[in-house]
Structure 1
Amino acid sequence: MRLLPIHTVLPGMKLGRKIYSEEGLVLLAEGVELTQALINRLGKYGVDFIYVADPRTEDIEIPQLLSEETRYKAISEIRNSFRKMMDRSIKNKTAGFIEIGKKFGEIMNLIINDLSSHKDAMIMLTNISVMDDYLYQHSLNVCIYSTVLGMAHGYNRNELMTLGLGSLLHDIGKTQIPYELLRKNAQLTDDEYTCMKKHTEYGFKLLKDEPNIPLLSAHCAFQHHERLNGSGYPRGIHGEDIHEYAKWIGLVDSYDAMTTHRVYRKAMLPHQAMEIIYAGTGSLFEKKKIELFRDKIAIYPLGINVTLSTGEVGTVVSLNPIFPQRPIIRVLQSAEGKQLSAPTDVDLSSKLSVMITAVNG
């Protein structure tokens, strides 16, 4: 299959990977023939990229880090719990409720179990082919990224539970922000941004006294927008004053925000987001954390179309865990623009003179 920007998808192409609804249910199955109406609808609901079937790349397998059952349970619990908190906030009632710690603890156990079966897998974009409210899917994405990095870093299960709960609930304070502000389809004004920043304090207050939620998880909600140089919020703390878990979450929160469709802008591709992350090395984010993230993230997702320095165009068919920036490319089009009937694979880790010069997104 190939990963195509939604604006390049043509009627008659067949879907290569499931599309999930807001509830985490399968909305469109693999093999569905796409019509212009379906393509338009997907674009309208924020799906910027989809996988389409292609006989030349039918051997590409996209790893599923979470089972469908775990993904559905996680999204459902995030959605239901966050909506209850939003409703309580609107009605000026106490937002916390005792069930949250137990329910999200059960979800985290499922997530850790699933991810433990894919310890060597590189992190693919987790938001492709999802039609969902940004807040719910973003919470799950950040949890997946953070937990994978925690495993690679060597945290034990108890530490992963604390980090995972902190990442899964890092944005829970946004349930106390006016909904129209969360859904605004333009950049926030200074006053609106000041209001939005309060979600970190709201999140800490919601979580700090919850049974079965570690206090460190509450501090993740409080500190995930703090930065090494003190430029973050809510307290503008520096370096070692920021907890390790909050540093991991702050890094992947920024990455996922950039690579996810927002109502006011299109999603960036992974390599574009990573360039911005790199620019913050030592000032916003710790170098060692960025390096581990770099080694675990697929900056060129499987199925994405790229142009090589030779002028040839191809598709990423295999990832290189040692050199993520040099995957295996299946060349589908010659430098002269001719579609090849017998595509060839080029391993960029052994052809050092050939480089990716553009991602055709």
Structure 2
Amino acid sequence: MAALEISVDDLQLGMYVSQLDRPWLGTPYLLEGVMIQSQEDIDQLAQLCQTVFVDETTIPASFKPKRIILVKASSHTPEVLTSKKTASDQITPGELEKIERTPFHGNQRYTDIHPVDRELPVARQALEVSISMLEEIHGHIEHGVKLDYRHAKEVVESLRESVVRNPDALLLLSRLRKTRHELYEKSVRSSVYLLALGRHLGLPREELSALGMGGLLMDVGQAQLPVEIQKKTGKLSTAEHEIFKRHVAYGETSVATTLDISEAVLAIVAQHHERENGSGYPRGLFANQLHPYARMAAVIDSYESLIEPARDMPAFRPFEALRELQTNSRGGLNSTLVEQFCQFIGVFPIGSLVELNTGEVAIVLAHNRTQRFRPKIMVILDAKKKPHESPRQLDLRLSETSVTGIEYEIKRDLALGAFGIDVSRYYLG
């Protein structure tokens, strides 16, 4: 969805605000976009920020901004200029799209090519092949055999292309797909999250490939930990945690010796547990010593550990996890990347569980890009929390109603496994 940055003073009825000049977290809108339906909407935004990004498809052809946004090259800090400035001082709306807003942004623009339903079969095949490749990688590492990197690259590219066409399909399947090996599941989810974040940031395809490969491999060293550590349920002791931290070094060594890998991928494997304030491991590196993609991986790894924790630890609800990420961004995680991750993952992430205002429970299947509080869902439990015999799909954007005439709305998000739900039952096979 292409967007144009304009002053809040230039907002008009019917425009859709997709991004603010500040994080959505901490605003009345949470992570949601805003459809301008009244002057009150504009007044409220004016109290929160100076500029906003508006979906270009909602901007009238006759729109002429009274103010132009100028971005200072030295600081990337937006400055609002009145139209009384000379033409040489002004930047046209078209030129604004060429300006990088953060050091992590690329210049590539992606739009959804396929609807989720069409992409699901292709995404499912890519997912299955990636899990098979992980089994192959672990086998090669165990026996010290060099892996055919061309094959690994082809597998990652199949994941990449699915995410480019529509990230929702793989985001959904990677959450619902369950295998006998938890480490493989987490690795695939990490890869998909990194690919989707890179797409959101507008990175070119070759960079997406590095992110996808890094996500698949960043925890490969865990397979070399003692079996009692791998299989332990419950919290690790201090001594056990020190042993667990060795998986980073194991993974770095294994990947470097068995794969013809790029520097960026190796950095993800070696640095995804490092933190910007030097509190991470294994080397205690600081922000300026970290590869940008490792900083992205740190955000993904932290989110994963909150919503799907290991060793039977309690899981955070998705929104609670986003709040926790925001707290961690004050020192450990990069605040810009946390904000961007929150923007693309949304209040109700793909594959998460939600309770409706009817009391029913549903799985989020896909986002509606312009109305993120109204996703596509599959209703799986009735109001008494009993399984529906025939789960049905709804698009909340269409204002669908229940049998009693109530318009469906999401009441709250739920932790994974709420009400004893096994999401693997609803893997769309």
What amino acid is the match of 1:313?
G
Work out which of the residue numbers 149, 159, 163 in structure 1 matches 2:197.
149
Deviations 1:291-339 (A, max 9, x none): 221121143256834255xxx5355677443564x33699986xxxxx9
Indicate conservation of the 8 Å contact 1:170/1:220, yes or no: yes
One-letter identity of the residue aligned with 1:341: V
Match of 2:222 among 171, 174, 185: 174
Sort the Cα spacing of 1:274 and 1:323 in 2 relative to 1 into closer, same or farther, 3 A.
farther
Percent identity over the alignment? 22
The one-letter code matched in structure 1 to 2:133 is E
Change (3 A) 1:68 1:302: closer
Note the C-alpha offset of 1:144.
0.3
- 1:120-159, CA deviations, whole angstroms, 9 ceiling, x for partnerless residues? 8794473225143111111110000001111111211221
Could you tell me which residue of structure 2 aligns to residue 104 of structure 1?
152
How many residue pairs align between the two structures? Answer: 279
Per-residue Cα deviation, 1:218-245 (whole angstroms, up to 9, x for no partner): 1111100011111100111111211110
Q: Deviations over 1:90-143 (max 9, x none)?
A: xxxxx3x22252332121111112111115879447322514311111111000
**Corresponding residue for residue 73 of structure 2:** none
Q: Which of residues 82, 88, 107 in structure 1 aligns to 2:138? A: 82
Structure 2 distance, partners of 1:297, 1:341, is: 31
Pair 1:258–1:125, CA change in 2 (3 A): farther
Asked which structure has the greater RCO (Cα within 8 Å, sep 6+), the reply is: 1
Aligned partner letter, 2:263: L
Aligned residues of 2:353 and 2:413 also touching (Cα < 8 A)? no
Correspondence for 2:359? 313
Structure 1 residues 194-252: Cα deviation after superposition (integer angstroms, max 9, x where no partner)? 11111112222222344531122111111000111111001111112111100111111
1:69 alignment counterpart:
125
2:407 alignment partner in structure 1: 345
Q: Distance in 2 between matches of 1:63 and 1:268?
A: 29
Deviation string, structure 1 residues 17-42 (Cα, Å, up to 9, x no partner): xxxxxxxxxxxxxxxxxxxxxxxxxx
CA distance in 2, matches of 1:245, 1:132: 29
Paired with 2:351 and 2:187, the residues of 1 have a C-alpha distance of 23
Q: How does 1:206-355 map to 2 (within 5 A)?
A: 206-260=254-308, 262-300=310-348, 301=350, 304-306=353-355, 313-314=359-360, 319-322=367-370, 324=372, 326-327=373-374, 341-346=403-408
Name the TM-score, length of structure 1 as normaliser.
0.67
Letter in 2 for 1:180: E
1:7: which partner in 2? Answer: none
Letter of the aligned partner of 2:158 in structure 1? L
CA distance in 1 between counterparts of 2:245 and 2:290 reads 17
* SS of match in other structure, 1:208: helix
Runs of at least 5 residues in structure 2 that lack an aligned partner in the other structure:
1-115, 384-400, 419-429
SS of the residue 2:186 aligns to: helix
Aligned-partner Cα distance in 2 for 1:329–1:343: 19
CA contact (8 A) 1:305 1:315 kept: yes
Q: 1:40-95, CA deviations, whole angstroms, 9 ceiling, x for partnerless residues? A: xxxxxxxxxxxxxxxxxxxx969749622211111011023214434x4xxxxxx3
SS in 1 for 2:280: coil
Matched residue SS, 1:132: coil
Q: Distance in 2 between matches of 1:242 and 1:257?
A: 21
Is contact 2:318-2:413 (8 Å) kept? no
Shift in CA distance, 212/67, structure 1 to aligned 2, threshold 3 Å: same
Distance 1:279 1:322 in 2: 27
Distance change (3 Å), C-alpha of 1:132 and 1:101: same
* Alpha-carbon contact 2:171-2:351 (below 8 Å) kept: no
Would you say the 8 A contact 1:143–1:168 is kept in 2? yes
Within the candidate set 163, 175, 199, 2:247 is matched to 199
Separation (CA, whole Å) in 1 of partners of 2:326 and 2:296:
14
Alpha-carbon RMSD? 3.3
Work out whether residues 65 and 115 of structure 1, in 8 Å CA contact, stay in contact via their aligned partners in 2: no
SS of equivalent residue, structure 1 residue 341: coil
Give, in whole Å, the separation in 1 of the partners of 2:192 and 2:356: 30
The structure-2 alpha-carbon separation of the partners of 1:198 and 1:132, relative to structure 1 and needing over 3 Å to count, comes to same
The answer for the alignment partner of 1:187 in structure 2 is 235
Equivalent position of 1:136 in the other structure? 184
Closer, same or farther: CA 314–211 of 1 in aligned 2, 3 Å: closer
Q: Which residue of 2 aligns with 1:20?
A: none
Residues 66 and 246 (structure 1 numbering): CA distance in 2 closer, same or farther, change over 3 Å? farther
Counterpart of 1:342, as a letter, is T
1:9: which partner in 2? none
SS for the counterpart of 2:347 is coil
Q: Compared with structure 1, are the counterparts of its residues 303 and 294 closer, same or farther at alpha carbon in structure 2 (3 Å cutoff)? A: closer
Matched residue SS, 2:284:
coil
CA 297–238 in structure 1, closer or farther in 2 if over 3 Å, else same: same
Larger Rg: 2
CA contact (8 A) 2:356 2:408 kept: no
Given the superposition, is the C-alpha separation of residues 136 and 145 from structure 1 closer, same or farther in structure 2, using an over 3 Å criterion? Answer: same
Aligned to 2:10: none
